[in-house]
Amino acid sequence: MEERVVAIILILFLVAGCVTEQEPATTTTIVTTVPTTAVVTTLPERPGGKCGDGVCDRIEQERGMCPEDCKDTTTPAVTTVPERPEGKCGDGVCDGPETVQNCPQDCRETPTTAPTLTTIVKSDYDDSPFGVHPSSINDYSYAKDLELSWNREGTYLVWDWIDASRDGSFTFKQAIAPPKEGMSGSGGPINYDDERLRLNIDGISMMVNVCPFRKGGEFKNAQEKEIYQEFVEKMVERYDGDDDLGCIENAPDCYNPGDDEYPSRELIEIFDSNPIKHWQLCNQLFDTCEDDCKGTYAEKYAEAQELTYNAVKEADPSAYVLIAGDSGKELYPRVFQRLNGEYIDIIDYHRFGTEGEYDPKGDFEYLKGRLLDSGFDLNELRFWITETGTYSGDPEDINDRGGMLTYQSEQQQAGGLLKRYVSALSYGIEKVFWAWAIVEGFRRDCGFFDYTGLVYDGCDCLDGEYVCEKGVGYDQGEGVKKLSYYAYKLMTEKLEGSDWDDIQTVIDGTNNVYTYKFTKQNSGNNVWVLWWDYFDDSGDNKTVTLDVGNVNSVRITEAVPDAESGAELDGENYPDFFRTESKAVSGGKVALTLGESPVFVEAI
């Protein structure tokens, strides 16, 4: 299965062709979604539009898709100088937001008012494993309903966009993304502070990507490496929530005289309560070298990883650094060897495929073996999956056997979602992010990632074109929630609050049966998750006996709604459309009949 998963990912890369600005598996580059201030009344209504046609239609704009078509034409916001009614820098009083770092002439001689580092208390949601890449659509309304705790957005902080001259002229508020060759309307201004404010809400932790270059680039000399490292330090200080903002100039400036880069009061306050503590270097191992670098990628990525890691830790020793997760697993050993047991806190690895290709064990066992060979202590590492998913519908992509991907029902996608999460968590994966996105329609090219979402986008393929009009193909209508949406929601409700370090594997594939036991930290109550992988349309089922201990009866809930499609369901009736039954327990055991849907079992 390892080879099939890798093969499908590599094939998807080839099918995707020239990548756009907000890639999930092939690349996840920086692009801000269309601001609310953008002009929308002049956009043409083009139900059959697709990425790369040079026109930003209604669907593309509303969902923040197709940056090559939907250039952000708004003027970068200029953040006002923080209001400081107590005084101003240079008045001889260390007050308001003044610190030794941003106003040394007032604060240097007053040690009692010198900044004290903010104590960051780890919130309960930081422990949760549930996330989506990305999850901020509709101002996080879906994410809140699903009770997600993590977001990995497609917005990268790119050094040579923030410091275009590569000389330390950092412009977080007025960065410029260069246009992509052959993509009309791509590129444009980016206000990273505004973007970070938009994405930062209470209850959602952020894992953020930083990259020195975007899809190909290299350091030209030692001086550039030093400047990049300084950039990473300033970036972390800006968003890590402590009292050191990384500024060396007086407000309204920050890094250089006249730059007007001092963070706003709103930014300071929001990141004080919800700081960024997880940083990932780029998305792929080839992102830190020029186009043709098969022989040198490991050396160049490892060097960038070391520079980034050291800079992050210098600015915030409590932060964590991830390695890029979106490359074939056979590419990692050369990078591990060059890092020689250092400069990584978290190993990330992305996994996609059909609904039955869910088990991450083989891939991570391979990676763990190569990490050990390279001097890493596995007890000091953590393991995440920041992109995983399967589809419903019939994408026009090639599978690992050279044929087209076959149709998958909503039921198959929903069951596959639960299996991906539970198998990963039981193996010891700490965080799992569904990808791509909550709403369907990634590149709008009829590919795999157009169908992995949990909500329909009103579009489907017609004669090779991604058409957005009512009644086309399998799509059930814009905004209709799939069965997988409700399955995700039920999963978080049933499993959130578990002791993630104590998930017990009761049955691991014997007779194709899988059983896992979760224990709630506060109550000590148990929740079992079971499924049978041999089910087919013949109507067969499997009877198993589960040891549930000293309880009188249990409630059994199917993990997939009792329907063919989410279009049949009224969300107001959630969770009544999940089939449930109660069973008496005898001698601590209960007999269960497993069919197509996985089930949750709880003591009553």
Domain-wise residue ranges, the chain = 2-79+116-490, 499-603
What is the model's pLDDT at position 169?
Answer: 97
What is the arithmetic mean of pLDDT over 149-176? 96
pLDDT at 41 over 70: no
What is the model's pLDDT at position 53?
Answer: 59
How much is the mean pLDDT over the chain? 84
pLDDT tens-digit profile of 307-340? 999 999 999 999 999 999 999 999 999 999 999 9
Band of pLDDT at residue 97, cut at 50, 70 and 90: low
Burial class (CB in 10 A: 0-12, 13-18, 19+), 582: exposed
452 beta partners: none
CB 509 within 8 A of CB 1: no
What is the model's pLDDT at position 66?
Answer: 58
What is the model's pLDDT at position 85?
Answer: 39
pLDDT at 356 over 80: yes
Domains 2-79+116-490 and 499-603 share a fold: no
What is the arithmetic mean of pLDDT over 432-460? 95
Of these ranges, 57-61, 89-93, 155-159, 484-488, the one predicted with the greatest mean pLDDT is 484-488
Scan for tokens 């960038």, then name that residue. 304
- The identity of residue 169, as a single letter, is S
Joined together, the tokens standing for residue 439 give 């709403």
pLDDT at 548 over 50: yes
Tell me the C-alpha distance between 187 and 179, whole Å: 4
What is the arithmetic mean of pLDDT over 300-309? 98
In terms of DSSP H, where are the helices of 88-164? Answer: 104-107, 124-127, 141-146, 159-162
What is the model's pLDDT at position 520?
Answer: 97
Architecture of domain 2-79+116-490 in CATH? Alpha-Beta Barrel (3.20)
What is the model's pLDDT at position 401?
Answer: 57
What is the arithmetic mean of pLDDT over 438-443? 94
Establish whether the linkage from the previous residue to 575 is cis, with ω within 30° of 0: yes
Tell me the C-alpha distance between 355 and 533, whole Å: 11
What is the arithmetic mean of pLDDT over 451-471? 92
How far does Cα 321 stand from its chain's mean position?
15
pLDDT at 584 over 90: yes
What is the arithmetic mean of pLDDT over 535-560? 90
Pairing of strands 157-158, 460-462: unpaired
What is the model's pLDDT at position 2?
Answer: 45
Length of the chain: 604
What is the model's pLDDT at position 126?
Answer: 75
Q: Which residues contact 586 (CB under 8 A, 6 or more apart)?
A: none
What is the model's pLDDT at position 47?
Answer: 39
CATH topology of domain 499-603: Immunoglobulin-like (2.60.40)
Question: Mean pLDDT lowest for which of 7-11, 374-378, 474-478, 495-499?
Answer: 7-11
Band of pLDDT at residue 9, cut at 50, 70 and 90: very low
Q: Which of 598, 1, 599 lies closest to 357 in space, CA to CA?
A: 1
What is the model's pLDDT at position 22?
Answer: 41
CB 442 within 8 A of CB 455: no
Joined together, the tokens standing for residue 13 give 């890369």
pLDDT tens-digit profile of 241-290? 999 999 999 999 999 999 999 999 999 999 999 999 999 999 999 999 98
What is the model's pLDDT at position 259?
Answer: 97
- If one compares 68 and 129, the residue with the highest pLDDT of the two is 129
CB 451 within 8 A of CB 416: no
In terms of DSSP H, where are the helices of 182-316? Answer: 192-199, 222-239, 265-273, 297-315
What is the model's pLDDT at position 108?
Answer: 42
Burial class (CB in 10 A: 0-12, 13-18, 19+), 75: exposed
What global pTM score does this model have? 0.82
What is the model's pLDDT at position 45?
Answer: 37
pLDDT tens-digit profile of 198-214? 999 999 999 999 999 98
Tell me the C-alpha distance between 64 and 56, whole Å: 10
Establish whether the linkage from the previous residue to 104 is cis, with ω within 30° of 0: no
What is the model's pLDDT at position 185?
Answer: 73
pLDDT at 87 over 80: no
Band of pLDDT at residue 8, cut at 50, 70 and 90: very low
